[in-house]
Each structure stands twice: as structure tokens, then as C-alpha cells.
Structure 1
Amino acid sequence: MRYALFTLALMAAPIVSAETPVAYQNPVYTRSMPDPGVLEHEGRYYAFGTTGSKPLADGRRFRVLSSDNLVDWQDEGGALVSPAGSEGHEFWAPEVVEHDGTFYLYYSMGTIDDLQFKIRVATSDSPTGPYTDTGTPLEDGAGAAFFIDGHAFQDDDGQWYFFYAKDFLDTESGYRAGTGIVVDRLIDMRRLEGKPQMVVRPRYDWTLFEANRTMSMYGGRRFDWHTIEAPWVVKHDGRYWCFYSGSNFGTEHYGIDYVVADSVTGPYTGQGQYARVLRGVPNLVRGPGHHSIVRSPVSEEDIIVYHAWNEDMTVRQMCIDPLTWTRYGPRCVGPSVGEVELK
């Protein structure tokens, strides 16, 4: 069975309520929905997806979808009012959290030619927007020109922390040159403390993005460039699990792995030598990853919401699958292509 087949099956599926088990078949949203960042608020789910350089029909950035069961999604239009002077910029990786009645949209904005990207903050009094940029980007404590994929996490004591991806060029201590993940404390929802601490950097072959890659932003130097990105943190059984995506997003090697720590700021250990949670299936599913993790609408089960390419490699569609906590660590039953029931 290929994407075209299960897309047709999904379109014919009846709509069900969140009070009973929900049957689904991937993808759960067939149009373009890369990097789905999902917020659960007052019993409803809101998904935010990357829109790249082009605004949506309403002139806004980032597609917003809503659902009460993670299967049937309603299009809510665009989220972000384009900031002044942002023409020609890329808009990536939106995630939204709610704090004290305000919704905060964290997103990456920059230019693709020189890879100058920073994470910005926009606010709204509604989960669907419109969101207005606050005017000041977050600042990486080491002054990085490229940092993306912001993820805000609130610890049990109420303190917020911010995980994001940034570049590292050294290869000391077994690290590979490329993108890794750090964590910093949020002074408030718009400012970082400026003391990022390492979470995870590439060490293994499976995270290779491109061999002998020319990096113009680093003076034309060439690297065997590795990528770890898209952090999402879950506290489970008293430990902090930072899930991340690795490798080249356009290949079947792209997938999801994790590291774990006893403290939210680390140290994090246990990086996998392959994508242990979710990875592509040759000739069937390519590029599954850049995910969110939310609770099932019908049980205490965790659900991964992620993107994967359609068969023609023209759009990344939104998919879901259950996350299982095993004695060997978290694992996903996906990427599934047949019918699955959320229990």
C-alpha cells in the first residue's frame, strides 16, 4: 500500500467523536503540513505547520488546524501576521504554548541563501491567532547566527525552559560538525537567560545530512555535515526525555531518537546509534519526523504527531502514531500505513 491508497481510505472514513476509540489511517492531513507543532488547549488540539517563504491565502504565515480527536482536522487559516520587512524570508517550525492567558508562538525566520536564522516570538489572546510579532528575536547566549526549532517546556515548579537547535563546527570528543540541541532558561516568555547548555550533538553516521557540504556562511568551508534538530521534551517517570529528529529530512534515513536526563538542564545521555523511535521505510515512507507529542483524546497514551513525504515528494503530510514506553525506552509503532485505532 502506498500513500495514494491510504489517502483515499482516509477521505472515505467517517468522522467520530473523541469519547470513543478513534480509527485513523495516515496521513491524517493530506495537504502540506511540515513540522507540525501541536498545542492541546481546553480539550482541543491545534496544529501549526511551516509555510516557507509564501504566505497563505489570508496573507498570514503558518497554517493552523484544529481537531478534537487528532484524526479529523479543520483548517483555521494562517496564524502569524507577517512582520514588517520580512518579504523574501523563510518561516519555519512554529510551536505555540499558553502562559497566563497569552498564547506564545515561537518560530524561525531567516534567509535561505546565507542561512541567517533566528527564533522570534509572537503573541495572541486566541490559540488560532492572529499572532503579532513582539519585535525582538530571542538571543542565543553564544551569539549564533543560525538557530532554529524552538521548543518551550514548563517544568513542575512553573519555570519555563527553551530548547533549540544551533550549529557547531568542532569535532572534538567524537562530535560531528553540524546542528545540535541546547537548552536555556526563559527569564520570561520573550527573553532567554543567555546561558545555553548542551543537550545533544551528532556522534553517529545515521545523522549525516550531506557529505562534503559547502557552507557559505562559514567562509565556504566544507564539512561532512550532520543534523540533529526539532527538540520536543516529555517528563516521564521522573526523567526528562528530549526527543529529536536527525539526518536529511528528504530521505528515508530521517527519523526520531532521544536522549534522557534526571534534570531538565542535563546532562543528557543515551543517544542512539540509529533512529530508535521512528524512521523511514524504504519505498514506502520517507522523511518521518519533526514531531510533537501529545496525550491521546481517549486515553492516557502518548501520541506522536509528525510529518512524512507524499509519494511524489511534493508535500510533507501530517501523520500520527502511538508512542509506547518500553523497558528499552520509548518506541513508536509507526510509521503506520494501515488502519490503526487510538485506544
Structure 2
Amino acid sequence: MTTIPRRQLLRGMIAGGALIGGVPLLVSASANATPAGRREAGPRWLGAGPFQHVYDPSPDQDHRRYLNDHCTIKGPDGKWHLFSIIGDTAPPGQVPDSAVEDHIAHAVADNLDGPWESKPHVLTTDTGKGEDHLWAPHVIEHDGTYYMFYSAGAPKGEPWAINLATSKNLTDWERNDKNPLFRYGGAARDPMVVWIGDEWVMYYTEVDEQRHHIVAARTSKDLREGWSDARAVWTDAITDHTVSVTESPFLVERDGWWYLFIGTRNGYVGTDVFASRDPFAFTLDGYAGHIPAHCAEIVRDGEDWWVTAAGWFQDGLHLAPLHWRDTPPLWHSPRNPAAAVDVTGAVRLFALAEDRSTLVTRTLESGWEEFGTGFATVPTIGGNEDGRLSVFALRPDASLAVRTQTGDGGWSDWRDFGGPFDAAPVAALDADGRLELFALGQAGESIQRRRQSTPNSEEWSDWERFGDGAGAPPVVAANADGRLEVIALGPGGANIAHRWQNSPGGDWHDWDGSFGTAAGAAPTAALGAGDRLQVMVIEPMGLSLNNRPQSTANGKWGDWRRVTYWIDAGAATMVASEDGRLEAFFMPPGGDVIYHSFQLSDASWSEQEEFGTGPVTATPTACRDGEGKVHVFTVAPDGTVHTRTQTAANNGWGEWRKLDGDPIAPVPAGSAT
């Protein structure tokens, strides 16, 4: 089992099986009540374009290094300067030890997209001055002097310190002789400083005495001393968990609105944005978008806005355009490409093409062919009772469209299907054989439901409100008796809630918000061995993959258990073998390795085993064909699709092979645009 680094063990705040038990918090409108749709007078929505890898700090491929919390600033030489945590990359599936992050790295470039030139480190841990590590440098310029604020940790048992170093040229740095600026508790870190009104304001993260994860603010007139007491400007919905729930705060102002960027969200690689008129008061109600990036930093270069990203598993610095939007960013399905068996019996794939506006489809034997234009998300699939597929995808304006197979394997025209939504819907057949859809409303303010009037029909009910708010698209699965069960991440990731049909095809029970406590991304669910539902979910920041099974078919639920440490943005993909046992596929952040676990005859799970090596961009997709064999699909960073198939139903696995054809968009699992 992977050793958890000290950064996650501080103050004993990780409890084994952290999802055991529940918080009685229902999916609630008041927790995420941002108005949906276009904002005429309010704040803008934020998203990001595709990230480009612009700097690898590794001296050679045998000595891979990572950057983490970082900053960029243009210096007096007209060049961009990068300052960052730096460390040695851990082997695939393992996590670096952040306790040995004891240097601040430095690199320079003429342009943000490089090429970057590595320079000597500018600071090294000074244990004689109480520095335990060097984290999260943030540099500003004032009156010709550059100020670097950083987290310095503390000797064991001491409160953590925020320290300062200064420079005139961004190369030679001198520590402030009155360090530390302040100490607090066991989690004061990730400082960011900005001028507001007539004073300097430092934003940083803390865990307060009530074990709330907060972004705190302190003020000063001179940057060097006299920092005020802290006040909370953001309190996370998640409490009593790892110190890494709230990270890397970054603040920008535009048109009278303040935007606070906070990680980690949707697993390790993700940042949420919250807007407010008051730079000292941010809440979930101000949700303003999502950036698929760890430790996101915002950079303005003239009229251009950019976002930089790094992290333990990212191999250096990444850069993307920051998008200021009139509508919320759209969530991609975590299953890319989408896969299912169509009415002809062929395994068929659907994906967003490399241009990110065209949908394409293929079978295993054919190449990719155009399926539709003017789309913005990875599609989702619903299987009709008669075997025909229905494909759902969002257009850039967040409207939903559907295209359905005909009996001979052809396809209908695209038709409008409602909206606006944040994500394409999930689908399941109810006990009556009708497709039911569940979709995340715009800005996450609701979950919407729609169903076929009769099995295989082109007539559907109207969309109706099914839940008052969620933190990610919901999932749906059918019990052994056909009753549907919907499981959703609560606003802010504070809990997992579920709702189920009281009888097959019947009415619905109220939401139960105590299904699971804090989680980091949308769960997955599937019916497995013993006709029992199984749910997988990741802890905040992706610290672990956890599983909860039904105790009996159609019955109550057992306890949560930890499957493995460290998982990527999406929970495990689960697919049933022909004998009903589930196969699960998952990967740690970075995509260097894919893991596999399967249900045993008693419905327990095997130990994880390595199933393939990357790099891959997302949690694998899987489906079972008409012969009972399971097919697994992954996407490499170059957009090529790779597959591995069981040699026979319920049997072992063949070799990986690359599918011929043009590349598709290598969309990260569950990312937003």
C-alpha cells in the first residue's frame, strides 16, 4: 500500500474510512443558489481552454521532477520569471513526500509559453531559522523591491509560519530579518498578496480551531510586519478532513467583481471559482466556474488572461487561456470515449473530435466518421429497450441535442432536447423499459429528470426538477428489482446524497443526504455480484478510492471501505462481466498507470493489479459486447485510442492495441470547458 506523505497526515486529520457515516445534509438549493444562465449585470463565468505543457524541469528522463505551487512575474529584464516548489517525481501509482520539498525553483522565459530556461534555486530550507519546508512562493513588486511570501512550516509541534524574502533583481533573495510574519496552527500555507483599497491583503489557507477549512485574510500597511489577525473570507463546506481540502487561493478583480480561485476540486486536478462584490466574503452561492488545473495561478499579459497549472503528477508547468464567459462552463462526461453495443451488435464508440466541436463515431473495425457538428462536450449514451442507442451532447450554448439509432443501424437527425444544462445527462432503463434521464442544471442549481412516455418511444415527458442542487453531474443505476437509484455529490463536495424509487417504476423517496460524507468528485455506481449495487467515490483531493456495497440485493447498504490511496478526478469505471461480477478500472493522478480490481465470488474485491501503463488522460471507458467479453478503452495525450479486451467471457485479458484513425480530443476526466 502506498505511504501517505506527511502533508496529508498533519494533526491526525485523516480518519480511516473517512466516508463512513454521514452528514445529514440534503442536496439543497440554498447551498448553491447562483442564478443559472447569462449574467447581464452580475459576475462573469470562468473556464479555460486546453492546457499546453510549456516547461519540464527534469534534467533528463531518468530523473523526472515536478513543480507544484508556483507563481510567475515579469521582471525588470522584461522576461517572465517562474518560482515554484520542486521535487522528484514518485514512481507510477505512488505519491511524492512533500516533507522534503526544501527548495524554491527558478526559471525564466521571454514568453509565458516558453521556452523556459532553468536557473539555480533561489531559496533552500534554513532549519536554523525554523523552516521545515519551502512551499507556495508568491512574488509581487512594490517600489522597486520584489517580495516573496512563502510557507515555511515549523519544527514538530510548533505553529506553521508564513515567511518573507526580498530581492531587487528576482535572482538574489534575502530573508526578512523579522521572520516569521506570523505563525498559526498546523496548516497556515499557500499565501497570495494583493493591494486592496489602502492596504495589502494576504490570502492563505488555514484549518481553524473548529477544524473548518478556510481561506483567511490578514492585512498590512508595509508588507514586512504588522500583519493583522486573521479573518475567514471563505469557509469550505467540508470539515474535519485532510488539511488539503482548501488550497492555493488566488484573487483577481474585474469590473467591480472579485473572483477567488480555490483548489483542489474534482479530485487533485481541479480549481473552483467564486465571485463576490466583497473581497472579504465568498460563499458557495457565488460559484462562478471550474478550471481543470491544480494550484491554478492567474496571469494577465496585456489584454490576455492566462491560467498556469502544475502539480505532483504534471511533469512541470502547463498554460491555458482563461475564458471569461457569459454562461457557465460545461462539464465533460468522465467516460471518454463513450462506448456501448449498438442495435447491430457492434461495439460503438462516440467522442469529441480533435477540433473540440465535431462529434465522431466508429466501431472497432471502422475508422472515425463524422457524427455531428457544433458541439462542445463528450457525448453520453442511453440504450433503448430494443437495443437502439440514443446519443446526447451539449452545444456551446448549453442546449441539449439527441440522435437515435434506427432499427437497421442508421441514425435519425439531431433534434433539440431541452436545456440549458451543465452536462449531458446520464441514462438508465426503468423497470417498465423506459429510458430515464438525469441532468445537472446550469450552474449546478438543480438536477433535472425526463423519461420516455413508453418503451422505445420518441415521445418524452417534460423536464422536471428532481433535486435542488448538486456539486457534479449525478449518476444512476438500477437495483436488481428494477428500481432506479440516483446518487449525487452535494454542493461543495460536503456529502454524497441518494434518492431511489419506492417501487419498480414507481414514485421516489426523498433525498437522503447521509449516504456518504465529504467526497471529491461525482461517484460511480453499478449492479454487481449477488445482484447488489456497488458505489465508488473518491475522497477530497483524490486521497483515496472508497467503495460502498448493498448488504443484500435491493436492500440496505454496508459500510464504506477504502479500496486504494490516490485516484484521479473520476471514480472507478465499473462494468459487469457476463457472470455479473464487476470489473473496476481506475488510475492515480498523472495517468502513468491503470489499475484493475474485480469482484470475487462472495462480492468482495480482489487486490488491485496493474492493468496498463500510460500516459493516459482519463479514467478508462468500458463496455461488454454481445459475446460477454469486456472491452476497455483509454485515450493517450496525443488523442489516440487504445483498447484491451477479455480473451473470452469472464476470462483473462489480451494485449493492448491502438485503434487506427485520426486522434480525438484528449479530454481529462470530468473536466470543464
Interval containing the TM-score (normalised by the shorter chain): 0.5 to 0.7
Give the TM-score of the pair, scaled to structure 2: 0.36
TM-score (ref. length: structure 1): 0.67
Question: Does the C-alpha gap of structure 1 residues 63 and 224 become closer, same or farther in structure 2, counting only changes over 3 Å?
Answer: closer
Corresponding residue for residue 325 of structure 1: 324
* 1:28 maps onto 2:54 in alignment: yes
**Judging changes above 3 Å, is the alpha-carbon distance between structure 1 residues 290 and 53 closer, same or farther for their aligned structure 2 residues?**
same
Counterparts of 1:166 and 1:295 in 2: how far apart (Å)?
27
SS of the equivalent of 1:180 reads strand
User: 2:231 aligns to what?
Assistant: 197
Q: Distance in 2 between matches of 1:25 and 1:240?
A: 24
- 1:235-274 CA deviation, whole Å, 9 max, x = no partner? 1111111111125xxx94441112222233x22234678x
Amino acid aligned to 2:306: I
Change (3 A) 1:229 1:53: closer
Alpha-carbon distance between aligned partners in 2 of 1:200 and 1:66, rounded to the nearest angstrom: 34
Residues 107, 150 of structure 1: 8 Å contact kept: yes
Match of 1:181 in 2: 215
Contact 2:181 2:224 in 1 (8 A): yes
Residue 237 of structure 1 aligns to which amino acid in structure 2?
A: D
Report deviation, 1:153. Answer: 0.5
How do 1:77-156 residues align onto structure 2 when only pairs under 5 Å count?
77-80=120-123, 82-83=125-126, 85-86=128-129, 89-111=132-154, 114=157, 116-139=159-182, 143-155=184-196
Contact 1:37/1:291 (<8 A) preserved:
no
Q: Which residue number in structure 2 is paired with residue 259 of structure 1?
A: 274
- Whether 1:64 and 2:64 are equivalent positions in the alignment is no
User: What is the rounded CA distance, in whole Å, between the counterparts of 1:329 and 1:190 in structure 2?
Assistant: 40
Aligned: 1:159 with 2:199: yes
Q: 1:237–1:270: structure 2 CA closer, same or farther, 3 Å change rule? A: farther
Instruction: Mark the CA change 1:126 to 1:229 in structure 2 (over 3 Å): closer, same or farther.
Output: same
Please say if 1:278 is aligned against 2:281.
no
Matched-pair contact (CA < 8 Å) for 1:290–1:307: yes
Residues 101-155 of structure 1 deviation map (CA, whole Å, 9 limit, x = unaligned) = 1111111112586584211011111112233343421226xx5343111101123
Give the counterpart of 1:234 among 249, 252, 256.
Answer: 252
Aligned-residue identity in percent:
21
Q: Output the CA distance in 2 between the equivalents of 1:25 and 1:242.
A: 20
Deviation of residue 98 (structure 1)?
0.9
Instruction: Encode CA deviations 1:276-328: one digit per residue, 9 max, x unaligned.
Output: 4223xxxxxxxx311211124xx612111111444xxxx65211111111124
Secondary structure (helix, strand or coil) at the match of 1:268 reads: coil
Aligned residue type for 2:277: D
Alpha-carbon distance, 1:88 to partner: 7.7
Listed one character per residue, the Cα deviations across residues 60-118 of structure 1 (whole Å, up to 9, x for unaligned) are x3001111211211112111254361588211111111111111111111258658421
Greater strand content: 1
Give distance in 1, aligned partners of 2:305 and 2:201: 21
Is contact 1:257-1:277 (8 Å) kept? Answer: yes
Counterpart residue number, 1:44: 79
Aligned residue pair count = 267
| Cα 1:240/1:75, change in 2 over 3 Å | same
What does the per-residue CA deviation read over 1:21-60, in whole Å, with 9 as the maximum and x for residues that have no partner? xxx973212232111211233542211111466588xxxx
- 8 Å contact 1:325–1:331 — kept in the other structure? no
- CA distance in structure 2 between the aligned counterparts of 1:330 and 1:318, rounded to whole angstroms: 23
- Aligned-partner SS, 1:277: strand
Structure 2: distance between partners of 1:154 and 1:330:
29
Aligned partners of 2:127 and 2:155: how far apart in 1? Answer: 18
State which drifts further: 70-79 or 178-187.
178-187
SS of equivalent to 1:182? strand
Whether the 8 Å CA contact 2:67–2:311 is kept in 1: the answer is no
Question: How many Å apart are 1:338 and its aligned residue?
Answer: 6.4
Counterpart code for 2:318: C
Which 5+ residue runs of structure 2 have no aligned equivalent?
Answer: 1-49, 58-65, 87-97, 332-355, 357-568, 570-616, 618-636, 640-664, 666-673
Greater Cα radius of gyration, structure 1 or 2: 2
For 1:55 and 1:245, locate their aligned partners in 2 and report how far apart those are by CA, in whole Å: 19
Which residue number in structure 1 is paired with residue 601 of structure 2? Answer: none
Q: CA deviation at 1:169?
A: 4.7
Contact kept, 8 Å, 2:268 with 2:294, in 1: the verdict is: no
Q: In 2, distance between residues paired with 1:330 and 1:150?
A: 27
- In structure 1, stretches of 5+ residues that fail to align are 1-23, 171-176, 209-222, 280-287
Shift of 1:192: 4.5
Instruction: Provide closer, same or farther for how the CA distance between residues 270 and 224 of structure 1 changes in structure 2, counting only shifts above 3 A.
Output: closer
Query: Per the alignment, do residues 270 and 84 of structure 1 end up closer, same or farther by CA in structure 2, a change over 3 Å counting?
Result: closer
Report if aligned partners of 2:205, 2:247 keep a CA contact under 8 Å in 1: yes
